[in-house]
Amino acid sequence: MNYAQRAAQVSGTIAGHRHWLHQHAELSLQETETTAYLAGQLRDLGIPVLTFEDYPGCIATIQGGKPGKTVMLRADIDALPIQENSGVDFESQNPGVMHACGHDCHASMLLGAAQMLWESREDLSGTVKLLFQSGEEVFIGSHYYWDQGHLSDVDAAMGLHVWATAPNGTLCVQDGPLMASCDNFKLTVHGVSCHGSTPNIGKDAIVAASAIIMALQTVVSRVSDPRDMVVVTVGKVQAGTQFNIITDTAVLEGTVRAHNPAARQLAADSIRHIVETTASAMGCTADLEYNFLEPPVCNNDTALNEVARDAARELYGPEILASTLPATGSEDFSYLMEKIPSSLFVFLGCYDEEHGCVHPVHNEKFKINEDILPIGAAQYAQFAARYLEKTAGGAK
């Protein structure tokens, strides 16, 4: 099948899916209506679908006409707690909930790919699994499907994300780091309270917390290798009860991002050392809760990356390929990439000044030019078909 041509033919259907999903945006792990819609559309096509009594999302399976490996295509389906201000005429009907990260685009493109792959299933040399994943925005949504054994037979996988730093309608299939890890920490500093007029008889938790905040800046500037991207941010500080009271408690919360697993661990170790020693120097103690949430997204399988690039060229020519700087945001697909080493993640560019599509993801004004939807659907389908063709006859 000519997936580029067929995607153009069904572009109206894909956009229709996107409009419905956008209007019915649901928060992470609450995507019941979304799941019902997706499963219903897949079943209407005749595609077998697995849903779960205790978890949103679904997995569709397309068995090819010839034996072969199993490839997975993934789209996330959850929205964000944002009041929409995009100006589109199909705005979210759910107050305070918006598809501001493009997950409605991903799900609609994967529905389009599902239709095309189903129509061409007799030509496929293997099996395609389509994962419509819940809860990407809460860091752990992908875990359920792997941990429950539903993806243990997958040989290779691809995820895709619309991305506002790349030109509209281009595909970024890049080797190496693409997105950062995401770790969060919560730090509680314990001091001794006293009156503000007699600070010498207390231990000021605010001063200790301030010293810790300043010292944490050295993780990036003096501890980490300058060739490795690391971000350490303290984004929340809570302390104090009265202007003239030296408080005994201060709470800090922050996040750490890295592209390199070794740099990620070094940052975590350094933070713990700085917190403990700085608090002690101020006569205080500190409790640190450090959570390793999402590993980095790294396209390490260069052969698989080339399959995806070949698929893009076959669809639209070499000019469809572009590059962009690796992002410091994170992505829950990284958990599946750890479990399925032959995996990659692709950016579909959506920056389009002419149509006012210039806002980043997680912004109340985020929107896309829907001309990119058939491109993403075709890339999903072409990649799956090309991977199965190239690995036909290989051992499972």
Return the number of other C-beta atoms located less than 10 Å from residue 359's C-beta: 17
Torsion angles phi and psi, residue 155, rounded to 5: -95, -30
Tell me the angle at which helices 32-45 and 11-23 cross, rounded to the nearest 10 degrees: 160
Summarised one tens digit per residue, pLDDT across range 62-101 is: 999 999 999 999 999 999 999 999 999 999 999 999 999 9
Nearest Cα residue to 235 out of 184, 271, 279, 284: 184
Question: pLDDT 10s digit of each residue in the chain, 396 long?
Answer: 999 999 999 999 999 999 999 999 999 999 999 999 999 999 999 999 999 999 999 999 999 999 999 999 999 999 999 999 999 999 999 999 999 999 999 999 999 999 999 999 999 999 999 999 999 999 999 999 999 999 999 999 999 999 999 999 999 999 999 999 999 999 999 999 999 999 999 999 999 999 999 999 999 999 999 999 999 999 999 999 999 999 999 999 999 999 999 999 999 999 999 999 999 999 999 999 999 999 999 999 999 999 999 999 999 999 999 999 999 999 999 999 999 999 999 999 999 999 999 999 999 999 999 999 999 999 999 999 999 999 997 654
- Give the containing element (helix H, strand E) for 146: helix 143-147
* 266-282 CB burial, b ≥16 within 10 A, e <16: bbbebbeebbeebbeeb
| Distance in angstroms (rounded) separating the CA atoms of residues 192 and 108 | 56
Does residue 85 sit in helix, strand or coil?
A: coil
Sign of CA dihedral 33, 34, 38, 39: negative
pLDDT at 394: 61
Return the number of other C-beta atoms located less than 10 Å from residue 14's C-beta: 24
pLDDT at 102: 98
| Distance in angstroms (rounded) separating the CA atoms of residues 118 and 129 | 11
Residue with tokens 């789209």: 75
pLDDT at 393: 74
DSSP conformational letter for 6: H
| Distance in angstroms (rounded) separating the CA atoms of residues 161 and 318 | 20
| Distance in angstroms (rounded) separating the CA atoms of residues 241 and 49 | 55
∠ Cα 77 304 71 (to 5°): 50
Quick check: 380 and 158 in contact, CB under 8 A? yes
What is Dmax (Cα atoms) for the chain? 82
| Distance in angstroms (rounded) separating the CA atoms of residues 302 and 298 | 10
